[in-house]
Structure 1
Amino acid sequence: MNHRQAVHALFECCPSVTWASTIVDRRPYASYDDLFRAADTELGELSEADIDEALTGHPPICSRLNRFRSAQEQCAVVVSEDEQEMLRSACASYQELFGFRLLCVPAGRTAPALTAEITGRMHNDRDTERKVMRNELAKINHIRLERMLGPEEGYPLY
């Protein structure tokens, strides 16, 4: 895969041109663990502007309610109408407080548990929450990288 194609593929995992370009420039990686370490390191070194760019590629969590997502990404949150309103309100309060959209991996949590996490995170100061959000972005990057690459040992022959 040429440089441009690789950057485009990685941009689909984390929509930051800086991140994707740096990860491609450091190729090859001996293992998935090496790739994930490089991905996390580069994410930690991104400027706040680059992180904001990356956030634009993630739909608001409340837009994903009751939608099917792959089991690998584990983003589906099936909720009642009352729970939807509770989550939407928590997401709106979060964005109003911090000035950026909520980013987290629901990973099979119930709507009340997710709402409680959002409410708990609202006690963070902005700098702390930016760190938490980067950690959530790293988790999402790992999920997307694994999905893009498939199993490290390859797929079985059929």
Structure 2
Amino acid sequence: MLLHQGIGLDRFNELPHRRAVYALFECCSCVGWSARLADGRSYATHAALLSRADEELDALPESEIDQVLQGHPRIGARARSLPSSREQCAVWVDDAAVMRTLGEAAAAYEERFGFRYVWCSDGRDGRSLLADLTARMGNDLDRERRVRTSELVKITRTRLERMLGPEGGFPAY
């Protein structure tokens, strides 16, 4: 769950540096990425922030990608936790057998590639996730790193959009 939801671009641009880093960290779990984005303020539009966020995430070294992955639960690690919130890039699974199969497949993926499996589901179910995970097991390491980073970009963008709220912001109450 994000603490900074719907804060609007103007409020984000005006946050003290430390608070801006914290708000961004909630979206990506990487201090370096968060600090670089906070340093780049002020952003004129949502699109400008989102574009810069995508570029920064896409350019992260593996050491910082490892930090980002720590912000994502292991698929199948606990019941109904893909991940724990019902965000756009989450999968909600009630079937214990599917969860067990996903957990086993995710462990095999992590053993093969050396990093945690992530997937922006866009509302698809656990069976779709399993199909994606199975297909990605056929990738070589370089290809899978690109796919993994692409998925992280999608997930982070969703979280940033939730942090900002609608273009133009919410009315002040």
Normalization by structure 1: what TM-score? 0.90
Q: If each structure's helix is expressed as a fraction of its own residues, which one has the higher value? A: 1
Q: Segments of 4+ in structure 1 off by > 6 A?
A: none
Per the alignment, residue 97 of structure 2 pairs with 82
Larger relative contact order (C-alpha < 8 A, sep ≥ 6)? 2
Q: How does 1:27-106 map to 2 (within 5 A)?
A: 27-63=41-77, 65-67=79-81, 69-70=85-86, 72-106=87-121
5+ residue gaps, structure 2, are 1-14
Aligned partners of 1:65 and 1:76 also within 8 Å: no
- Distance, in Å, in 1 between the alignment partners of 2:127 and 2:34 is 35
Q: Aligned letter for 1:116? A: A
Aligned partners of 2:88 and 2:158 also within 8 Å: yes
> Structure 1's 69 and 126: CA in aligned 2 closer, same or farther, altered over 3 A?
same
> Structure 1's 149 and 135: CA in aligned 2 closer, same or farther, altered over 3 A?
same
- Distance, in Å, in 1 between the alignment partners of 2:172 and 2:63 is 44
Q: CA RMSD in A?
A: 1.8
The answer to whether residue 86 in structure 2 is matched with residue 110 in structure 1 is no
Aligned length: 157
* Percent sequence identity over aligned pairs: 45
- Distance, in Å, in 2 between the alignment partners of 1:119 and 1:35 is 34
Aligned mate of 1:131, from 146, 150, 154: 146
* Shift, 1:34, TM fit: 0.8
* Shift, 1:151, TM fit: 1.0
> Structure 1's 93 and 81: CA in aligned 2 closer, same or farther, altered over 3 A?
same
Aligned mate of 1:4, from 6, 18, 22: 18
Q: Aligned letter for 2:54? A: D
SS of match in other structure, 2:167: coil
> Structure 1's 22 and 41: CA in aligned 2 closer, same or farther, altered over 3 A?
same
